[in-house]
A and B are shown apart, each in its own frame.
Chain A
Amino acid sequence: MNSPSRRDFLKFGAALPVGRHALSARAGQRPTKNPPKRVMFICNSLGFYGPSFFPAERGNLESSKYLKEVGSKDKMTVFQNFFHPGMETSNHDSEKSFLTGAARPESSSFVNTISVDQLLARHMGGDTRFPFLSFSIYDRGWGCSWNDRGVPVPPMHDESFIFEKLFGKEDLAAKRRQLKTDQQIIRSLHRDMERLQDHGDARKIDSYRTVVAELEAGFRREQFWLETKKPRVPNTLSEDQEFAFSTKIRNLLELARLAFQTDSTRVITLSLDWIYGAIRVPGATGGWHTLSHHGGKPDVLAKLSRVEIDIMKHLNQFLTALDGIAEGSGTLLDHTTVVIGSNFGDSSNHTCNNLPTIVAGGGFRHQTHTVLEKPTPLCNLWLELLHKHDIDVGEFGSSQMDLHLLQN
């Protein structure tokens, strides 16, 4: 099989780069007219200390210890009073439900549902080399992204690996040969599966078949994009090991910026989940998890806030960087909805009420600080974001309704 034609794509039902942007992306240019929409979700898995995060004075971000330094204040809204229903136990696994809203993640029979980023990627991922990117600062095989069968999508965590994947040179001839052989192999496996369907454990074969079909679609996508050169960007990753934790966050955000800027993807998820062992940030060393159980003790809170300020510093730099890149009639931030949130409202008590939530960018008329009258399922916001990106679903997770909190 030679390089697939559009017809092949339609025939095989694979994600197909169709829009204008795909064509310009294939020409190696960043689209400037009618820039595409992008979305990013960032989960700070151990939350933010509420009194330092939320503005003390309603509507005034200057009155928040963490947010007063943030630039682009007019391009963000801090939401208060979101929660996830169905979090009634110790909520150690609540991160699993951050983007899905599935109840009782600690139950032994828990099966997750699709996460909002993956649903968005299905609709927004067709035009770019990568339908989505999922990052994590820690290597544990799962983060915030879950597919439609509730299977975790393992996030990538190695910065140089990600850089290579996005921008590195490939041996195209070897890659073509390999893809061709793999497709032949899969075809022969399908023949065996037909036999096994009748003679073996049909459910077992089905579960494999579903996954191998997804892999095939991925191969076709890779094959399609082999014809387009990867964008070349300078490697701006930091190698500072003094503060390895901060470096990791900084680098992954930098990769996110580069990926958006080069239109390599339009959906990115980042899980900040370094929960084991000690970390070092400027001014404090300690177990992030241990510190998060501060129990209200001032000395522990002092250390914890150093960690959280460091995280916030990188997030702020990221938003500022996006806002500094002109695109169309605005900036990259205007075309990128960045959600910064957490599965924990109070990680010291392991509760999932009053979740710290920021929506930045996306070209919305931001309200700076919106305090919801009563506890509201976070899934209402997810539902609204789906609608804002033209995905017509009636509900998502524990959503009740689209509250139209974000105005264009």
Chain B
Amino acid sequence: MSAYRSCRTVRSASLAAYVFACLLLLSYRDVLSAEDFNESKQLFDQYCIDCHEGSHAQGNLDLTALLTKSKFDATLIFENIATGKMPPVDADSPTGGERRNMLSWLAQQQPEPQRNSFRRISRHEFVHSVNDLLSTKRDLSDQIPGDRGTCDFDSDRRIPLSREVLGSYFAVADRMLDSAFPPKGFANEQTWVTNKLKDSHETYNVYVRDHEEGVLFSWTRANNGNSYSFFYDNFDPAVAGWYDLTFEAAKVGDFREDISLQVHAGKYYYADDRPQPQRLLDVISLGNRELKTHTIRVFLNAGENVSVHCYSRHNWRQKSPKEGAYIRQLKVRGPVQDHWPPDRYEQLFGDLPIETSANPKPERRAERSKSRSPDHVSDYQSSLQRIGGRISVSSFQPGMEKENMLDGSNRTFWHTRFTPTLAKPPHYVIIENPRGVPIHGLSYATWSGGNGNGQVKAYSIFASDDGRQWGDAIASGELEVRLANQQPILFPRPTAHRFLKFLITDAKTLDGRSLASIGKLDVIVSTSREAARTKVAVGSDSPMALRETIKRFAERAFSTQLTEAELTPYTEVAQKSLQEHGDFVRATRVGVKAVICSPRFLMAPGEHSSPAHAQVASLARTLWLSVPDGELLKAAADSSSSGLTENRLRSQIHRMLADSQSDRMIKSFCDQWLNLRSWNKVSPSLKLYPKYDDLLHHYLPLETRAYLAYLIRENRPVEHLIDSNYTFLNQRLAQHYGIEGITGQQLRKISFDREVPRGGLLTMGSVLKVTTDGFETSPILRGAWVSKNIIGTPISPPPETVKAIEPEHGATAKTLREQIDQHKNNTTCYACHKSIDPYGFALENFDATGQWREKYRVEKPHRGTFQFRLEGYFRDGGKVDSSGEISDRHFADAFGLKKLLLSDHRRVGYNFARKFFEYANGYAPDLTQRLALLAIIDEQPHQCRMRDVVTNVLIYSLSEKVP
């Protein structure tokens, strides 16, 4: 007997629609009367037992055995009846009322759920909350280990607090407090202006050239496919903080599209075959042909540089470019503070006097920046010049003078004399240090050209106070020849001698002549430069004032009103610090840290003085991943003892959704529900998808977030999760999707015709990419993704005997379908896979980056080392067949699948409500709760709207039915 029922009759979606309608029209009751109870049980005899009885029961489900049990897990049966999957269409079907009774009966059979009444707050909730409480903006969540494990949602109550995570909270709290109240004071703002690039690998130098007063860039990628970017020189932030980067730039070229200026932060590496870990800070869309300033605010760590990558499909690898991005100059200002002293002092310390005091010894650097006019383009200054030093050399060849070692470039170089006469050894460089500044070492680089002749192989360094008596070498060693990178030579200990001699003891020679050449030679002075700082202190030593300060903070953090006794542990520890050190800010930090590391803060729900406080804390956690703002706390304080009324809750939820802080929820929910958190885990193959780049990688998930945010904020129908005639695009995404005429990189809502296969989540590049391994698409994996996340079908893991099948495209593309079709021939597989694989097949027209395709791509081998090229390495393979069948309804492709899914908007809406419930509450709804969620879903497609669903799920979650 086959394990699945063959349904030959045409499966109509209208049945499911009918089921839902009946469920909703009849109001749902929590508890069945005894009479109803027996009646419900009989309904199973009437509609189900025929097939589900005894040892040969369909789907291995023996209801007679089950129904005699007092308690059992009926989730699967419940879902099948609720979504109209059972009883099958060719069998007698219960009426809506009967169906409702059956579901209620099943809900009552559910054993009492075993779940925690609490959870730890997630690392994202921790970081956002502390940022909001301290008015800082530092994302340190990556300093805290992820503890989600294999749970879908960060809020899952099964995730316990671990020692490592708690330890990280203690450590990260310090780091966040350090940025809020830097112990050494706030670094003074500085301005750097530069139009100079750091030396680049000679193969890439050709893609930039001097242009007017600045530099013109074309676009290139390194041979290994890395995005190649050019670093700016002559500024280095000494402290971490927020900086304003102002580019004065214009587009050069006669084409319509904007050029994208990708701005990265990272440490400078000379050559492209070095690791170049860089963060994309922001993208500037360059459409202006006249020079214009573009300012972005970015976070830079100490010592990080800024690099640019100028992407446009019109200027690919233009040597000495004629088109591209012209950047006249970059101005960097920072670390910036919007208010001085920063807002948080007033927020935290209220009316207490705030005192600022400048560091009495401002550093030379700050003096220089003061005298600098804003438009002045600074010249390169070597460290030796900065400490007032000079160099002299044993000999030089005209045109290759000693100054070339100090000009910041290793394209210019010093060379010993070789014509008209050859200089005799010894060859050396003498460094003069008249001020006696401690020198830690020398920084050496070869010159980046030539045949290697004269490059230093070995050296010795001597010190002297008078330039005559040299004594023993203080350092000697060997250097790499033909290594373009700077090679630091560190002394065993810093030396303050007035003279240093760099003696070349061996140099490369191709022709036996004694030669020496150096691209760069500079001194390494202090490794840690102290920036000028301004201290901010609070002029109080009152323990009572400290108590008030901690109280204000703790009540916001805990979302409660604290009694004196409750407050005491937090104030005492702070007061003790005040007593010991007399530093009000330092003492406050201790109290604040105790608050944000306490169980009241880290365990949710917290301890609240009223139900209303608990409600607003829960809303803030779900929608903002944070603590309540002033308005929520006020609403809580003003409400009655039973909590906020439904109307007030509704208006607060709407306000919170409209606030940009709910972007955090959108991101978090997309990451967890749609699995976009795996976004960075897979990089598409450069051979098959050479056009996939950082910019696309950056914008694809933004499209999904913008779309979901729009659906919720504008209260669009839940149907739009599946299909719509619009999405959020910019120039790069539109290029990827083959949509013409969109200029500029700002995301905006774009409507399109019906033949465009976009609109809805399923055909978004982000979703299509995240379900692949970067090479091939897998209908099984994509099908499982759709089934789990969009349809909500519970999937049981495959049986042990099943051999996994993974796709193999190209010449054997047909085999893939044949292989997967084995599922059909194997009844064990087919029972589940009939509701998994077809969804994946429908999406086969989309490749692993989400681009439309008619044919598969087959990878071609490359010769020798891989060299990136824009046309990739592939040929066309077999034709894509994206047809399939779900519940006996045939579809031809993704368009057909969407249509099929749209025929039952309730299922989509119910699944969304279930996922959002789980996101908000940290567990999957039990059956009683599912009945309530079913009731939230409006039967009219146009009345079933996203913000309504979100709001109603949240209001329901705040009721006592959701513990």
If A189-B599, A193-B599 touch, whether A199 touches B607 (CB-CB below 8 Å) is: yes
* B137 located at the interface, meaning its Cβ lies under 8 Å from any Cβ of chain A in the complex: no
**Known contacts A89-B797, A192-B600, A154 near B166 by CB under 8 Å:** no
B773 touches A290 (CB 8 A): yes
A293 CB within 8 Å of chain B: yes
Kindly state the separation between the CA atoms of A204 and B600 in the bound complex, as whole angstroms: 10
Q: A201-B118, A276-B681 given as contacts; is B569 within 8 A of A287 (CB)?
A: no
What is the chain A residue whose CB lies nearest that of B224? Answer: A242
Confirm or deny: B114 has a beta carbon within 8 angstroms of a beta carbon on chain A: yes
Partner of B603, one of A204, A290, A348: A204
**Contact string, A282-293, partner B, CB cutoff 8 A, digits 1/0?**
000111011001
Interface mask (B136-173 → A, CB under 8 Å = 1, otherwise 0): 00000000011111100000000011111111001000
B557-608 contacts to A (CB < 8 Å): 565-566, 568-570, 572-573, 576-577, 590, 593-594, 597-600, 602-603, 607
A185 touches B600 (CB 8 A): no
* A185 contacts B594, C-beta separation under 8 Å: yes
What is the CA–CA distance of A1 and B700 in the complex, to the nearest angstrom?
54
Q: Is A109 an interface residue (CB 8 A)?
A: yes
Interface centre among A188, A193, A212 (most CB of B within 10 A): A188
List of A residues within 8 angstroms of B275 by Cβ: 239, 241
CA distance A335 to B464 in the complex (A): 52
Q: A12 at the A/B interface (Cβ < 8 Å)?
A: no
Does the CB pair B775–A88 fall under 8 Å?
no
Binds A, one of B38-46, B652-660, B798-806, B913-921: B798-806
A33 within 8 A of B: no
B804 touches A350 (CB 8 A): yes
CB distance from A240 to the nearest CB of B (A): 9
Known: A141-B148, A154-B145, A215-B167. A290 touches B776 (CB 8 A): yes
Interchain CA distance A211-B776 in the complex, whole Å:
44
The answer to whether B773 touches A277 (Cβ under 8 A) is yes
Q: A88 to chain B: which residues have CB within 8 Å? A: 800
Among A88-120, those with CB < 8 Å from B are: 88-93, 96, 106, 109
Whether B167 and A295, one on each chain, are in contact in the complex, defined by CB atoms closer than 8 angstroms, is no
Complex: how many Å from CA A92 to CA B781? 14
Check if A152 is an interface residue, CB within 8 A of chain B: yes
Assess whether A195 is in contact with B566, with CB atoms less than 8 Å apart.
yes
Query: Is there a chain B Cβ closer than 8 Å to A278's Cβ?
Result: yes
How many residues of B are counted as interface, with CB atoms below 8 angstroms from the partner's CB atoms? 62
Contact of B164 among A154, A182, A297 (CB under 8 A): A154
Q: Which of A200, A278, A348 contacts B775 (CB 8 A)?
A: A278
Nearest CB of B to A380, in Å? 22
Q: Which of A186-237 contact B (CB under 8 A)?
A: 187-189, 191-193, 195-196, 199-201, 203-205, 207-209, 211-212, 214-215, 218
Q: How far is the CB of A157 from chain B (nearest CB, A)?
A: 10
Cross-chain contact of A189 among B569, B797, B798 (Cβ < 8 A): B569
Determine if B678 is an interface residue (Cβ-Cβ < 8 Å).
yes
Whether the pair B146, A189 counts as a contact (CB closer than 8 A) is no
Partner of A188, one of B165, B174, B570, B602: B570
For residue A164, CB closer than 8 A to chain B, the reply is no
Q: Are A90 and B773 in contact (CB under 8 A)?
A: no
Contact A290 B775 (CB under 8 A): yes
Task: Tell whether, in the assembled complex, residue A189 and residue B114 are in contact, meaning their CB atoms are under 8 Å apart.
Answer: no
What's the nearest-Cβ distance from chain A to residue B690, in Å?
15
Q: Does B149 lie within 8 Å of A141, measured CB to CB?
A: yes
Interface members, chain B 752-787 (any A CB < 8 Å): 773-776
A287 to B797, CA, bound (A): 22
CB of A278 within 8 A of CB of B599, answer no
Cα–Cα distance between A286 and B384 once the two chains are bound (Å): 50
Q: Which residues of A contact B598 (CB under 8 A)?
A: 189, 192
**Assembly CA distance A195 to B602 (angstroms):** 17
The distance in angstroms between the C-alpha atoms of A215 and B168, with both chains bound, is 10
Docked-complex contact B162 and A152, CB < 8 angstroms: yes
B118 lies within 8 A of A204 (CB): yes
How long is the Cα–Cα vector from A152 to B148 in the complex, in angstroms?
10
With most chain B CB atoms within 10 A of its CB, the pick from A182, A196, A204, A242 is A204
The yes or no answer to A151 lying at the interface (CB within 8 A) is yes
Chain A, range 265-306, C-beta contacts under 8 Å to B: 276-278, 285-287, 289-290, 293, 295, 297, 300
Tell me how far the C-beta of B233 lies from the nearest C-beta in chain A, rounded to whole angstroms.
23
Distance in angstroms from B522 CB to nearest chain A CB is 24
Do B118 and A203 have beta carbons less than 8 Å apart? Answer: yes
User: Is there contact, CB below 8 Å, between B161 and A211?
Assistant: yes
Given contacts A215-B170, A286-B775, A350-B804, contact A90 B798 (CB under 8 A): yes
A contacts with B, residue count (CB < 8 A): 65
Q: Which of A147, A192, A205, A351 has the most CB of B within 10 A?
A: A192
Identify the closest chain A residue to B174 (Cβ): A178
Main secondary structure of the interface of B (DSSP, over half): loop
Q: Is A6 an interface residue (CB 8 A)?
A: no
A152 to B161, CA, bound (A): 10
Query: Once the chains bind, are B117 and A218 in contact (CB under 8 Å)?
Result: no
What A residues does B590 contact at CB under 8 A?
Answer: 181, 184-185
Q: Are B797 and A188 in contact (CB under 8 A)?
A: no
A287→B848 CA distance, assembly (Å): 13
**Nearest CB of chain A from residue B527's CB, rounded to whole Å:** 13
Task: Check A90–B797 contact: CB distance below 8 A.
Answer: yes
Judge if A349 is at the interface, Cβ distance under 8 Å: yes
B164-192: contact bitstring with A at CB < 8 Å (1 yes, 0 no)? 11110010001000000000000000000
The answer to whether B806 touches A290, judged by C-beta atoms less than 8 angstroms apart, is yes
B808 in contact (CB, < 8 A)? yes
CB contact under 8 A between A287 and B149, given known A189-B597, A276-B682, A293-B804: no
Q: Is the CB of A192 within 8 A of B569?
A: yes
Neighbour of A295 across the interface among B683, B798, B805, CB < 8 A: B805
By a CB distance below 8 angstroms, the chain A residues around B116 are 203
Q: How far is the CB of A354 from chain B (nearest CB, A)?
A: 14
For the complex, give the distance between the alpha carbons of A91 and B150 in Å. 13
Verify if A140 is at the interface (C-beta below 8 Å from B). yes
Q: Which residues of A contact B163 (CB under 8 A)?
A: 147, 211, 214-215, 218
In the bound complex, CA of A149 to CA of B600 (Å): 22
For A188, the chain B residues whose CB sits under 8 A away are 569-570, 572-573, 594
Partner of B573 from the list A142, A184, A351 (CB cut-off 8 Å) is A184
Chain A CB within 8 A of B131 CB: no
List A132-169 residues whose CB lies under 8 Å from chain B: 139-142, 147, 149, 151-154
When the two chains form their complex, are residues B607 and A185 in contact, meaning their CB atoms are under 8 A apart? no
Q: Does B685 make an interface contact (CB < 8 A)?
A: yes
Q: Which of A89, A185, A204, A242 contacts B597 (CB 8 A)?
A: A185
- Nearest CB in chain B: distance from A353 CB, A: 10
Contact A278 B161 (CB under 8 A): no
Q: How far is the CB of B617 from chain A (nearest CB, A)?
A: 14
Whether A151 and B118, one on each chain, are in contact in the complex, defined by CB atoms closer than 8 angstroms, is no
Query: Which chain B residues lie closer than 8 Å to A349 at the CB level?
Result: 802-804
Alpha-carbon gap, A242 to B598, bound state (A): 45
The distance from the CB of B782 to the nearest CB of chain A, in whole angstroms, is 14
**Inside 8 A of B682's CB, which chain A residues have their CB?**
276-278
Q: Which residues of B contact A154 (CB under 8 A)?
A: 145-147, 162, 164-165
Minimum Cβ distance to chain B for residue A369 (Å): 28
Q: Are B797 and A92 in contact (CB under 8 A)?
A: yes
Contact pattern, A 239-250, Cβ under 8 Å of B = 1, otherwise 0? 101100000000
Q: Which chain B residues numbered 886 to 915 have a C-beta less than 8 Å away from chain A? A: none
A277 surroundings in chain B (CB, below 8 A)? 681-683, 773-774
- By a CB distance below 8 angstroms, the chain B residues around A242 are 224, 273
Which chain B residues border A241 with CB–CB below 8 Å? Answer: 274-275
- In the complex, what residues of B have CB within 8 A of residue A278's CB? 682-683, 685, 773-775
A selection of 7 A-B contacts at a CB cut-off of 8 Å is A91-B800, A106-B797, A154-B146, A218-B163, A277-B681, A290-B773, A300-B808
Closest A-B pairs by Cβ, 6 of them? A141-B146, A154-B145, A287-B773, A277-B682, A90-B797, A276-B681
Other contacts beyond A154-B145, A192-B569, A295-B806: 15, CB < 8 A: A90-B797, A149-B160, A154-B147, A154-B162, A188-B572, A196-B607, A204-B118, A211-B162, A211-B166, A241-B275, A242-B224, A278-B683, A287-B775, A293-B805, A350-B804
